[in-house]
Amino acid sequence: MKRAIDVAAALVLLLVLIPVLLGVALAIVVDSGWPILYRGDRVGRGLRTFRVFKFRSMRADADPSVHAAYLRELLQGRTAATSDGIYKVPDDPRITRLGAFLRKSSLDELPQLVNVLWGDMSLVGPRPEVPYALTDYEPWMFRRFEVSPGITGLWQVRGRGRIGLRDMLRLDVEYAEQCDLALDLEILARTLPAVVRTTGAA
């Protein structure tokens, strides 16, 4: 049932959002040139690696080691997440002018609907993880990989950028242990208001 809902909803959303997708793509080209999409490795259900799609929000020559070093400090408790959001390097100079808005509004996540169609992701689930983060994972954290990652999840509606990384991982594990259709529908219903509140507070 969950997979059928994911496919149907992703197809409908992609069709309905064609004007938005084209508009964002054009804005990226005007703002910072090509490429339009970011493609990066992520870890999903069963620790399987897949390629995730996002609208590019960073400079094309952005150094990925900056984020890897910051995430390691977060997981090891040597620094805390800021108001910029979980997983986001504070005052990151790699972010483009348009990219800051795309991230705040979550518009950069829309291409992940393709990942949902392909079966790599679900509409609802834990946040897709970057492979280099697993080096500093504690055993309990791996339980989040028992389900498919999602575009939105408990971390989105219960805190978004206001909670720390470890709290976000605990919410991911909580979802993996409790996931059912009713919980998914609740999260989907609360996602848009959560995004609007965060964007409006920018």
Work out the number of other CB atoms within 10 angstroms of the CB of residue 76: 9
Q: What is the pLDDT of residue 84?
A: 52
CA angle (70, 191, 138) in 5-degree steps = 35
Handedness of CA 45, 51, 52, 58 (dihedral sign): positive
Q: What is the pLDDT of residue 199?
A: 53
3-state SS assignment for residue 132: helix
Where do the DSSP E strands lie in the chain? 37-43, 49-55, 122-124, 150-152
What residues of the chain score a pLDDT lower than 50? 83, 200-202
The answer to whether the beta carbons of residues 113 and 13 sit under 8 Å apart is: yes
Q: How far apart are CA 57 and CA 100, in angstroms?
A: 7
Q: What is the pLDDT of residue 82?
A: 59
Q: What is the pLDDT of residue 200?
A: 44
Give the model confidence (pLDDT) of 92-134 as tens digits.
889 999 999 999 999 999 999 999 999 999 999 999 999 999 9
In sequence order, what are the residues at sequence separation of 6 or more whose Cβ sits closer than 8 angstroms to the Cβ of residue 193? none
pTM of the predicted model as reported, rounded to 2 decimal places = 0.90
Q: What is the pLDDT of residue 74?
A: 81
Q: Which of 153, 97, 100 is nearest to 125 (CA)?
A: 153
Number of helices (H) and strands (E) in the chain: give both, helices first. 8, 4
Q: Which of 176, 120, 134, 145 is nearest to 46 (CA)?
A: 145
Range of the structural domain that residue 7 is part of: 2-200
Q: How many domains does the chain have?
A: 1
